[in-house]
Amino acid sequence: MSKVIHIDPDNPSAEAINLAATVLREGGIVVFPTETVYGIGASADSCFGSQEIIDIKMRPKNKPLPWLVENDRALDMYGVDVPEYAHRLARAFWPGALTIVVKAADVVAPEFRDDRGTVALRCPDHEVVQELIRACGNAIVTTSANTSGKPPAVSFDELEERIIAAADLTLDGGETRHGVHSTVVDCSGPEAVITREGAIPADEIMAVLSGTNAG
């Protein structure tokens, strides 16, 4: 059984963050709250973390894991040929509940790319995750902390016991703010494509893309 630690989502203790970051740096798996749903993650430079997450979630192996990143500079760090409209979306909605899909740069290992060579990036608007990324010193590969096909957990109480047991550490931050997945926009082509509408409404995305909202 993994360790469970209560954490203040708005003012997380340095002790809890440092412990979780140590687990991540050592290749472990951490379950944590975000502003959307609970996530299960590993350091992006972990040799086995991503595969372990896929196994725990029972997620299809051909469905790469998204990355949680610190700021919009990550678009050009982990992406290549990133269109201007993707940067516009990041300026408008990051940190926030928007996942941006871009063509992956060479620094992104093949196992994190889909069959088109893209990677999904999100800069979360959540103090726990932001501090985790900084303390870990790396992006965090993640997915929602639930068995594939089941509803995501929007509070600690909704987490499946087997997910908690399989992780090395779980951070109990109570309920999430949005209680719904992030919105996903594919920015790998000449035009943006909303592939999943979530916490950010499609009309807000389109307003930024059309220039009717400067963000």
CA–CA separation, 48 and 214 (whole Å): 41
Sign of the CA dihedral running 61, 38, 23, 127: positive
* Per-residue pLDDT reduced to its tens digit, 105-150: 999 988 889 999 999 999 999 999 999 999 999 999 999 999 999 9
CA–CA separation, 95 and 72 (whole Å): 8
Is residue 188's pLDDT more than 70? yes
- Please enumerate in sequence order all residues whose Cβ is within 8 A of that of 101, keeping only pairs 6 or more positions apart, or say none: 118, 119, 120, 121, 184, 185, 186, 187, 188, 195
CA–CA separation, 110 and 8 (whole Å): 36
Domains of the chain (ranges; CATH) run: 1-68+123-179 (3.90.870.10), 71-120+182-215 (3.90.870.10)
Closest of 78, 59, 77, 61 to residue 120, by C-alpha: 78
Mean pLDDT of the 179-184 span? 96
pLDDT, averaged across the chain: 94
* Per-residue pLDDT reduced to its tens digit, 60-108: 877 889 999 999 999 999 999 999 999 999 999 999 999 999 999 999 9
Q: Which of 62-66, 160-164, 169-173, 195-199 has the lowest mean pLDDT?
A: 62-66
Which strands make up the sheet holding 169-172, listed edge to edge? 3-6, 169-172, 30-32, 39-43, 140-144, 67-68, 118-122, 98-103, 183-186, 193-196
Is residue 11's pLDDT more than 60? yes
Cα angle 7-146-124, degrees, rounded to a multiple of 5: 50
Give 122 or 213, the one with higher predicted confidence: 122
Is residue 214's pLDDT more than 70? no
Is residue 39's pLDDT more than 80? yes
- Cα Rg for the chain, rounded, in angstroms? 16
Mean pLDDT of the 31-47 span? 95
**Exposed/middle/buried for 45, CB within 10 Å: 0-12, 13-18, 19+?**
middle
Closest of 173, 169, 170 to residue 155, by C-alpha: 173
pLDDT for res 212:
67
Q: Is the pTM of this model over 0.85?
A: yes
pLDDT for res 1:
44
Is residue 26's pLDDT more than 50? yes
Cβ atoms of 46 and 23 within 8 Å: the answer is no
